[in-house]
Amino acid sequence: MTKDKHEKAMGTARPHSNQLGEPLGAPGPSAAASRAVIAAPVRRDDPPQPPVIGVFDSGFGGLTVLRSLLARIPSAHYIYLGDTARLPYGAKSPATVARYAVESARFLEERGCQYLVIACNTATALALEEIRMAVRVPVLGVIEPGSQAVRRELQDAGGDVLVLATSATVQSHAYREACRRTGLRAFEVACPLLVPLVEEGWTDHDVTRAVLRIYLSQALAICQPKAVLLGCTHYPLVAGAIQAMLRELGSDAIVIDSAKATAEAAETALGGWSATAAAEAKGNFECFATDSVEKFQRLGSLFLGQPIASVHLLDLGG
């Protein structure tokens, strides 16, 4: 097996750092200001070079974030890691999730990534600070960008937010707290059947619509949201079906895709890298998976919206 197809992610210990990537003890913002930071801008030499961005998820769902990143920052080089051997993270303890996520983040940093996007709601909810302390590069999760996107959409109108997510993300109440910090009240609803339906490819299927009717009917019975936030990276593939069902049930709530919101936040943090930046540089991506590379290649193409030419097998250990 070649080196590219079989890497070890465990590295040497990293010095602890704050959310801005500075060593602890260095002058910096207050604790309150640090909590408000999504990620620090990446510094670039002049002339600027396309950034190398690492994207990590426990499986396939994070490819919807990569899909949005490719649209927002097409000139970057992306390295995607799906920890398919150890999913689902939602069934693991916070300590185990943190260990898995840190191993993945260190692997991406060692591959030369200058900026990391944790495209996994469970890892963001349970291990974001541990990841930021373990690496030297800025790290962006998916929860804060989603909640801030809702705030921007609603502006001063206020109103409740309905968060659709997996059971593990709902139990963490990470979205509820993130929305609270922006002055919004969030109702979190677990939709555990949506992930297997999406992975089955049933994004436009009567069974999926029936399941959505049940989940949304129950949710609308307890709140009248102004916005519905998709708190799982699988859910963008059924965003249209969710919006259609909301209308059918009499709700005019807008649907917010946290994958798109995360890509927008990354573009901002990277200093405005966009379709017009370094137009002569064509972006590309490479994918790593810790198991089932053939399934990853086949199913991942659905999430990414384009073929995946190859997937490298990676051993992160137990």
CATH 3.40.50.1860 in the chain is located at 50-142+262-313, 144-258
| Amino acid at residue number 262 | T
| 233 pLDDT more than 70 | yes
Residue range 290-312, pLDDT digits in tens: 999 999 999 999 999 999 999 99
Confidence (pLDDT) at 258 = 94
* Residues near 25 by beta carbon (within 8 Å), at least 6 away in sequence: none
Q: Does domain 50-142+262-313 have CATH number 3.40.640.10?
A: no
Q: Are 67 and 300 in contact (CB under 8 A)?
A: no
pLDDT per position as a tens digit, 267-278: 999 986 554 555
Q: Decide: 60 and 303 in contact? Cβ < 8 Å.
A: yes
Among residues 241, 245, 236, the alpha carbon closest in space to that of 213 is found at 245
DSSP letter, residue 57: E
User: What was the pLDDT predicted at 159?
Assistant: 86
CA distance 223 to 164: 13
Which pLDDT belongs to residue 281?
56
Q: Please report the pLDDT score of residue 153 as a whole number.
A: 92
pLDDT of residue 46: 55
Query: Is pLDDT above 90 for 15?
Result: no
| Confidence (pTM) | 0.83
Amino acid at site 290: T
Kindly indicate the confidence band of residue 236, based on its pLDDT and cuts at 50, 70 and 90. Answer: very high
- 1, pLDDT greater than 90: no
Q: For 184-189, what is the mean pLDDT? A: 96
pLDDT at 57: 97
What is the band of 22 on the pLDDT scale with cuts at 50, 70, 90?
very low
Q: What is the mean pLDDT of residues 138-154?
A: 96
Question: How confident is residue 282, by pLDDT bands cut at 50, 70 and 90?
Answer: low
pLDDT value at position 272?
61
Q: For the structural domain made of 144-258, what CATH number should be given?
A: 3.40.50.1860
Catalytic residues: 120, 232
**Residue 35 confidence (pLDDT) above 50:** no
Q: Which stretches within the chain are classed as H helix? A: 31-36, 63-72, 94-110, 121-134, 143-154, 167-172, 174-181, 194-199, 206-220, 239-248, 258-269, 293-304
Distance separating alpha carbons of residues 116 and 265, to the nearest angstrom: 12
